[in-house]
Structure 1
Amino acid sequence: MTDPFVEFLSRRHRTVLPLKMRMITFFLVGLTVHVVFFFSIFDIYFTSPLVHGMTPQHTPLTPPASRLVLFVGDGLRADSLFTLLQNGSSRAPYLRSVIEEKGTWGVSHTHVPTESRPGHVALIAGFYEDVSAVAKGWKENPVEFDSVFNESRHTWCWGSPDILPMFAKGASGDHVYTHTYPAEEEDFASTDASRLDSWVFTQVKSFFQSAKSNSSLRASLLEDKNVLFLHLLGIDTNGHAHRPMSQEYMDNIALVDTGVAELVSVVEDFFGHDGRTAYVFTSDHGMTNWGSHGAGHPSETLTPLVAWGAGVQKAHRVTEPQPYDDGYLQDWKLEHLRRVDVNQGVLPLLYLNNTDQFKAESLYTNAIQILEQFKMKMIQKKETTLSFLFTPYQLLTEAKQAEFTHKARILIQLEKYEDAISLCQSLISHALEGLVYYHTYDRFFLGCSVVLGFAGWTSYVVLIILKTHASLNRHPSLLKQIPSHTLERLCVCAAVVITVFLLIQRSPVTYYIYCLLPVPVWYSVLKDTCAGLLTLFTSACYLWSSRRRAPLHLSDRQQFVMQMLHVTVCAFVPYLTHSSLQQKQGLPLLNQIISWTTLASSMVVPLLSSTRIFHRLLSIFLSLTATYLLLSTGSEALFPPVLSWLMFVWINIEQEAMLAQGVSGRQELSTIDFSANIDITKIRQLKLDDIRRSYFFVFFIITAFFGTGNIASINSFDPASVYCFLTVFNPFIMGGLMMWKVIIPFIIVMCSFETIQVATQLSSRSLFLIVLVISDLMALHFFFLVQDYGSWLDIGTSISHYVIVMSMTIFLMLLSVVTHIFTSKRLLLWRKPKMHFP
């Protein structure tokens, strides 16, 4: 009896158009479904927790300071500032004298992600960075937020164009004035990055000098509620370029210390030593020994904090042991001075030099601010939830809110300030927990909708595999569908009920997509469920029974020689580049030209080679390896050559497996041509061996992705990786280059998989369906592991796990088209002239 699949292929001249239409439809539907599933995690996990519309709160007592001068040494580690030199002196003598004589000091425990933007948001706006900023730009604000600058009368800022604009843009009115240097100055190859800090100090001094003769500016400066912010980026830039243990980094700290001392003198002279200026010196994050930051290592999260001036406690000497067992006090020789550690965004009461009443009133105001946010979040959720489905946060119901605030107010009136402070701290803790509760209120509901859609889609793909490859045509009686009128009515009713439910709750548009998408998917599944179940056993039998136990051309040689020479050159370019940078001679122009030329030609050069499998693969691997070398800083440069060798081994193993099974038509790799049209009558059906091939493809894709780094690692990547291309800080170009570095191993595996399909005479659509099922099952697993807390490395890793398996159908479907062109097409730069004979 003739195999039905072969019969189907033999009639392709009558069914080519319908078949193509069905494949295109399946492709578009599958792409749409997975795009929806992919973006669902951003609606479920990464939405802004901030709320607006609260009533501003103010402490009724007079503040102790009229102005604040805020110094932020970007990228400064706590140990780098506090540790003494070998001779017992300090590299920051002025700040050391402040700690020992007239200020309060401690360690600021920064919150992950330890990056400049979230660190400054926590310092100046008082909340941890909005997680929705993961998918947003660096300079633009994903949401509007309030800040100390916005609540000031005037704020003057000097520093980096990457940090200052985000606070100026969100400010109401025009009272935040920014002064930034050109972005081109942030050059990791700079001979002296400390000039960025010198520029800031010079500009501030000129500012006060001009204020002496500018009456309107002087009048503004003499008002209260003013802020002066100095963002000092030189330390961070030197740390990235030369590492935190370098002399450049240490010298930059000394320069900053000198600049702070001089500027304090200028400020005090200008205001006549009125004692109404408060000073704060701190950092947004630290830095690892290898010059990166973003994760939660102590070297990244422990930053210095020194405060002095109006309203700040003076140095407090202690004789008893302090409640810190990390060993830093002894190393820093500061065990005799009280250390006060703080968390970013939390009011540090021990730093305040004021009455207990002022402290209690300040903390009470802080608690009411957070409680107002909680109330607004609760009201928003209550208005968009049916009353019988709404479950309030039990630890802070409306009655308990009133009880907390009333009791705290009474305690302050009775002058029981310590009890009032303790009660306010408890209220703050409950309110913050309640904010998280209402922010994640819909997470379970949306998660169930996405899981239902995942399960339906995976079931649908499994049914397609069974119908296509399980000889269902031999049992036509099994394919008779049950009457679908009842099923259609049920699905329509379900869609109507879901729509009405979402309308009543005034849900966002995306909720309709997540909740309604499973309906048509499960309708398609249920239509054929009977036939699928009846033939399931007939099919782990059909697949089992299908198992059977049983040199370069001269025209290409010059190109391959040139490519290998090119790879050799690219191996030396990073070494020469880094040597030049270490000698502070900048990025050599020739190296930069070679790098960009290699990048631009990496996708073109292979198209000039023969389309024979071995020839084309070798050309592709050499071209991509050359680019990867330029983006490498160490041993990861060996990854593409080893991966390419492994791909050749895999291809040969599959060839040998076909030979062992006695498959007819097996060809040597050197004789198979990518561009040759495969005889469609020789395309075979799926076998159990094809499940192995699909599984190994998924395995190698994951290996390629996590071999030397992934999307998450780009967050804390070493800037040295892109020094062959540019050294001036540009997050988008640098991020794009790192993304290409991540994609290169993908292309190597995809080209090898294309070879497997051609060499084993298997339909790419058939293998794709198996990969689809495997990736969707993995995606469903990783969907539950996505997290929206922790460092950006942790968040990015959880996202990347989900992204990579979703990319099996989104990114890889698109990349497979590119790979097919990359392997089968050839560019002819010249053609031989045709001979004409009379």
Structure 2
Amino acid sequence: MRMITFFLVGLIVHVVFFLSIFDIYFTSPLVHGMTPQATPLAPPASRLVLVVGDGLRADSLFTLLHNGSSRAPYLRNVIEERGTWGVSHTRVPTESRPGHVALIAGFYEDVSAVAKGWKENPVEFDSVFNESRHTWCWGSPDILPMFAKGASGDHVYTHTYPAEEEDFASTDASRLDSWVFTQVKSFFQSAKSNSSLRASLLEDKNIFFLHLLGIDTNGHAHRPVSQEYLDNIGLVDTGIAELVSIVEDFFNYDGRTAYVFTSDHGMTNWGSHGAGHPSETLTPLVVWGAGVQNAHRVTEPQSYNDGYLQDWKLEHLRRVDVNQADIAPLMASLIGVPIPVNSVGVLPLLYLNNSDQFKAETMYTNAIQVLEQFKMKMTQKKETTLSFLFTPYHTPFHSPLSVSHQISLCQSLISHALEGLVYYHTYDRFFLGCSVVLGFVGWTSYVVLVILKTHAGLNRHPSLVKLHCWYFSCVLVITMFLLIQRSPVTYYIYCLLPVPVWYSVLRESGTLTDLIRSAPSLPLWKCLGYFVLVAFGIELLVVSFFHRAMLTVGLAVLSVWPFLSGLFGKAKFRSLSWFLGCLCLAAFPLMPVVGREPIIHLVTCAGILTLFTSACYLWSSRHRAPLRLSDRQQFVTQMIHVAVCAYVPYLTHSSLQQKQGLPLLNQIISWTTLASSMIVPLLSSTRLFHRLLSIFLSLTATYLLLSTGSEALFPPVLSWLMFVWINIEQEAMLAQGVSGRQELSTIDFSANIDITKIRQLKLDDIRRSYFFSVNFLVICSHFLHLVSLFSSFDPASVYCFLTVFNPFIMGGLMMWKVIIPFIIVMCTFETIQVATQLSSRSLFLIVLVISDLMALHFFFLVQDYGSWLDIGTSISHYVIVMSMTIFLMLLSVVTHIFTTQRLILWRRPKMHFP
């Protein structure tokens, strides 16, 4: 019961630590209650057409063909003759939802919103659509609904195709864009005979939004360098030319229509997006029509040093780059609607073709709109902070009246207001960080004391003198402080959690006193050497997150452990196997995990390697651990299943390349394999190696279906090293003279553990725990792109299961791919605990301390400055390590069941003899 209580308390503590990072760094930046600001002067346009080519890279549009022509001749002509162009710089994560929010609402949505779906709004926000008189939208069901739901009233009309049309196995994904253009053409045609619709269209402040998903879908399915992707750009260009003709004809060429063409994000060469590579963050922006500056030719070199102007042959035309959020105030100013109240965009004046007075007025409106957010944020923070603790943001704000006609001063005002918004948004960050660190240190100290008390013979009764009084006093003071400041509920959790944690530490202070008194009898030099090595090892693991090659160095060092410890002379074959296994595993951190084309033949090779190693084990164990007929039949069946699963990815990708879709039989095999992967091993014998082999075959079969290249070789190599680790730990125990050592071939997972044989912790167990942590981190490193799934979306790994876009099912499948190697390592660790006659709690606690020290290290490395990619990376490291800790605690329970339990589907009837 005490173990269960400790596990639950530890789980709750780590969940709180994990969630704290979202309250500190991922809170929504939005504030409400501001008054919308609009320019009082007449706008240059009555309507605006926004066309977004989802997943379109800037270079894919602007780069000319080998013969000097453009794949988008209409847009090229607009750039050269009658429009203004530039690059729109997006922020990470480069996904569709945050990209469209930045374009249309003008702010950068917090990362946590990506995980909450593309159709739902985790927070309500204003948008250009909401401020318009009417907005008509055509396109994807994953994007359009969120702007309709966020609009006040009923003036945003959406027209979407069925979600199942977003199929990556489609013979021609460009049909999604053709559907949009066809619908728009029909819409204007019907408006000619529909008087009420025509009257609405003839009003001002209207927006037409075309979301074109075909480019993105073709990029995922065929890569951005494919002919399908490039031809889709040509189709979009032709569609836009026809669209402009239809719109101008409908409005009798009144010259009151503005056009904006851009993209929500780009795409890497290998068909993914979500991170900060220039191919993902550089998107095209072309604006023309009413109120827009015509093409401006330049003779002097421009200030852009990225080399793109020369490559695109556009160095003679003025390039005007913007941040993605700047497009929202640009669109608002063109049609005269208020800038979205939460926008942080700055109006790019070089796109406007209007009087200086209009530019000054619109910039002034932009400045007041941002300043209103600053004032509201400051007021909210001041109301929830004690007056003597409140520190205002000091900035040289000028009176708005003195800058009404000074554009430069308005821009300065906007810059300072945005800095002030960040200041108040992060106002409580230091306070919350101190509370979390205090809880972290207290929890780690408590776990160390529990280990010492349990295994060092230090059983002194806890000291409770005056602790109760201090405990309740601290709780009362902290609660009153938070109540006065009207703090959120989560603040109570973060601030009060350290109190019971440190109370538990102080209760065990007698244990620490006893340890100090017994220090002279301990092997201090050996203890000090172990702790120095472990500290160095933890730092090595931390550095490996920034330099993956360090894991290769670490594994290379671990490979010589048998030679340094003297085990080579007693187990030459196993020592050499350990050496080779570590070196093979060390190669994986050096392999590219993203940015590669699928190599399906390697998946087939991985299947063959899996079958070969399994066959070798069955042959070698025919005398040590003979199989019963039922087990032999199950292993043969599983090996045949692995062979099938190794061939299914080849058949699937061949079918997709031939544009024949996902074969139904392959899909049935894939889903059946996934559903049975956790059930089939429970049908096998609970003998140690028999159960491990069954787990390995079952999980590898699923893993092969989720693989596209060299990563398929990872489970066989990892399993080989885990098998050697189990055996070599037996030799290490023999070298240490541990009595009662049990032969591995005779161990049964389901047998009741003899408590009398459970031994105390030794210093060598720290080494075992560190080996376990290294294996976990190798997996984290090698599959970091999958753990950071929402930062790099590439659906190729799940094509055996489905090809229709479904972010949550696809994300779940990719996460299961990550979990499989973890299960293999956890089962190995469970085996070592049984084989070394050590309480499962003991080794687990050491691993917990190592993981918590790493997490605390990454907590200090989290930053909120520099590039958004740097910020996102620093936060993701902490999230990964904390997820590993929580995941480890949950997975330890799962793997215990996975190794010890057995399902018996039928029993043979007993024979009765007279």
Query: Which bracket does the TM-score occupy, shorter chain normalised?
Result: 0.7 to 0.9
Q: Is the 8 A contact 1:126 1:346 kept in 2?
A: no
C-alpha change, 1:639 and 1:531, in structure 2 (3 Å) is closer
Go from structure 1 to structure 2 and tell me whether the alpha carbon gap of 1:551 and 1:104 turns closer, same or farther (over 3 Å shift): same
Q: C-alpha separation between the residues in 1 aligned to 2:208 and 2:609?
A: 76
CA shift in 2, pair 1:700/1:156, >3 Å:
closer
Alpha carbons of structure 1 residues 679 and 540: separation in structure 2 relative to 1, 3 Å: farther
| Distance change (3 Å), C-alpha of 1:92 and 1:532 | closer
| Cα distance change, pair 606–363 in 1 and its aligned pair in 2 (3 A) | same
How far apart in 1 are the matches of 2:403 and 2:904? Answer: 85
Cα offset, 1:548, TM superposition: 33
2:802 is matched with 726
Deviations 1:302-338 (A, max 9, x none): 1111111100011122222222222222222222222
Closer, same or farther in 2 for the Cα pair 1:181/1:450, shift >3 Å?
same
Q: Quote the Cα distance in structure 2 between the aligned partners of 1:228 and 1:531.
A: 51
Q: CA deviation at 1:556?
A: 2.1
Note if contact 1:69-1:229 (Cα within 8 Å) is conserved in structure 2. Answer: yes
8 Å CA contact 1:711, 1:800 repeated in 2:
no
SS at match of 2:837: coil
Q: Deviation of residue 572 (structure 1)?
A: 1.4
User: Would the aligned equivalents of 1:356 and 1:417 in 2 still touch at CA under 8 Å?
Assistant: no
Match runs of 1:789-804 below 5 Å: 797-804=873-880
**CA separation of 1:105 and 1:670: change in aligned 2, threshold 3 A:** same
Instruction: Note if contact 1:715-1:793 (Cα within 8 Å) is conserved in structure 2.
Output: no
1:305–1:548 Cα change, 3 Å: same
TM value normalised by structure 1: 0.88
Where does the alignment leave 5 or more consecutive residues of structure 1 unmatched?
1-20, 394-410, 481-493
> Cα–Cα, structure 1 residues 535 and 261, in superposed 2: closer, same or farther, change >3 Å?
closer
Offset at 1:413? 14
Counterpart CA distance in 1 for 2:671 and 2:624 is 52
- Structure 1 residue 58: Cα displacement: 1.3
Question: After TM superposition, which residue ranges in structure 1, 4 or more long, deviate above 4 angstroms?
Answer: 411-419, 473-480, 529-554, 699-706, 787-797
1:800 Cα shift? Answer: 4.4
Compute the RMSD of aligned alpha carbons: 7.9
Aligned to 2:37: 57
Contact map agreement 1:705 1:742 (CA 8 A) in 2? no
How far off is 1:530 after superposition? Answer: 60
Q: Alpha-carbon deviations, 1:408-433, whole Å to 9, x = none? A: xxx99999999811111111111111
Residues 547, 751 of structure 1: alpha-carbon distance in 2 compared, 3 angstrom cutoff: closer
Instruction: Identify which range, 809-818 or 36-45, moves more after superposition.
Output: 809-818
In structure 2, C-alpha distance between the alignment counterparts of 1:826 and 1:307, rounded to whole Å: 66
Distance 1:192 1:346 in 2: 39
Give 5+ residue unaligned stretches, structure 2: 325-344, 467-473, 508-603
Task: Verify: 1:455 aligned to 2:437, yes or no.
Answer: no
Alpha-carbon shift at residue 358 of structure 1 (Å): 0.8
- The answer as to whether partners of 1:240 and 1:719 remain within 8 angstroms in 2 is yes
- CA change 1:190–1:420 in 2 (3 A) is same
Residue of 724, 728, 746 corresponding to 1:671: 746
Query: Would the alpha carbon gap of residues 586 and 365 (structure 1) be closer, same or farther in structure 2, given more than 3 Å must change?
Result: same
Do 2:715 and 2:821's aligned partners in 1 also have CA atoms closer than 8 Å?
Answer: yes
> Does the CA-based 8 Å contact 2:91-2:868 persist in structure 1?
no
Q: 2:615 aligns with which of 510, 518, 540?
A: 540
How far apart are residue 167 of structure 1 and its match?
0.7
Between the aligned partners of 1:792 and 1:357, the Cα distance in structure 2 is 35
SS in 2 for 1:809: helix
CA distance in 2, matches of 1:22, 1:655: 30
Deviation at 1:115, TM superposition (A): 1.2
% identical aligned pairs: 91
CA contact (8 A) 2:52 2:211 kept: yes
Where 1:200 maps in the other structure, the secondary structure is helix
Greater displacement, 560-569 / 273-282: 560-569
Q: Does structure 1 conserve the Cα–Cα contact (< 8 Å) formed by 2:28 and 2:109?
A: no
* Distance change in 2, residues 1:179/1:783 (3 Å): same
Asked if structure 1 preserves the Cα contact closer than 8 Å seen for 2:223 and 2:229, the reply is yes
Distance 1:245 1:226, change over 3 A: same
Aligned-residue offset at 1:130? 2.7
Cα-to-partner distance string for 1:235-260 (whole Å, 9 max, x where unaligned): 11111111111111111111111110
Query: Which residue of structure 2 lines up, in the alignment, with residue 199 of structure 1?
Result: 179
Q: Distance in 2 between the 1:584 and 1:548 partners? A: 51
Shift of 1:829: 2.3
Q: 1:225/1:122 Cα in 2 relative to 1: closer, same or farther (>3 Å)?
A: same
Between stretches 823-832 and 284-293, larger displacement belongs to 823-832
* 1:580, distance to aligned residue in structure 2 (A): 0.5
* Cα distance change on mapping 1:316 and 1:799 into 2, 3 Å: closer
Distance 2:634 2:400 in 1: 89
Counterpart selection for 1:612 from 673, 687, 691: 687
Work out whether residues 364 and 403 of structure 2, in 8 Å CA contact, stay in contact via their aligned partners in 1: no
Please give the per-residue CA displacement for 1:155-198, whole angstroms capped at 9, x wherever unaligned. 00000011111111010100100000000000000000000000
Correspondent of 2:170 among 190, 202, 205: 190
Larger deviation, residues 162-171 vs 788-797? 788-797
Deviations 1:53-104 (A, max 9, x none): 0121111111000000111111111111111112221111111111111111
- Cα distance per residue 1:196-241 (max 9 Å; x no partner): 0000000001100111011110000000000000011101111111
SS at match of 1:684: coil
State the shift of 1:479 in Å: 13
On the 8 A contact 1:58/1:365 being kept in 2, the answer is yes
Task: Give the 5 Å matches for 1:651-662.
Answer: 651-662=726-737
**For residues 236-315 of structure 1, what are the structure 2 equivalents within 5 Å?**
236-315=216-295
SS of the residue 2:286 aligns to: strand
Change in CA separation of 1:791 and 1:206 when aligned onto 2, cut-off 3 Å? farther
**What's the CA shift string for 1:238-286, capped at 9, x where partnerless?**
1111111111111111111111011111101110000100011111111
Which string of whole-angstrom CA distances, capped at 9 and with x for unpartnered residues, describes residues 523-551 of structure 1? 22112x99999999999999999999995
1:471–1:539 CA contact under 8 A, matched in 2: no
How far apart in 1 are the matches of 2:607 and 2:502?
14
- Shift of the 467–354 alpha-carbon distance from structure 1 to 2, 3 Å rule, reads same
Aligned equivalents of 2:810, 2:617: Cα separation in 1: 52
Tell me if structure 1 keeps the 8 A contact 2:607–2:646.
Answer: no
User: Over residues 745-796 of structure 1, what are the superposed CA-to-partner deviations in whole Å (9 max), with x where a residue is unaligned?
Assistant: 1100110001001101111112222222222222211222345678887666
Count of aligned residue pairs for this structure pair: 783
The alignment partner of 1:40 has SS state of helix
| Separation (CA, whole Å) in 1 of partners of 2:321 and 2:223 | 26
8 Å contact kept, 1:456–1:518? yes
Q: Contact conserved, 2:63 with 2:311, CA < 8 A, in 1?
A: yes
* Change over 3 Å in CA distance of 1:789–1:639 after alignment to 2: farther
Provide the C-alpha distance between the structure 2 equivalents of 1:237 and 1:544, rounded to a whole number of angstroms.
48
After superposition, what is the alpha-carbon deviation per residue over 1:29-76, rounded to whole angstroms, capped at 9, x for unaligned? 222222211211111111111111012111111100000011111111
What is the distance in 2 between the residues matched to 1:589 and 1:502?
58
Q: Distance in 1 between matches of 2:309 and 2:675?
A: 54
Rounded Cα–Cα distance in structure 2 between residues aligned with 1:750 and 1:570: 24
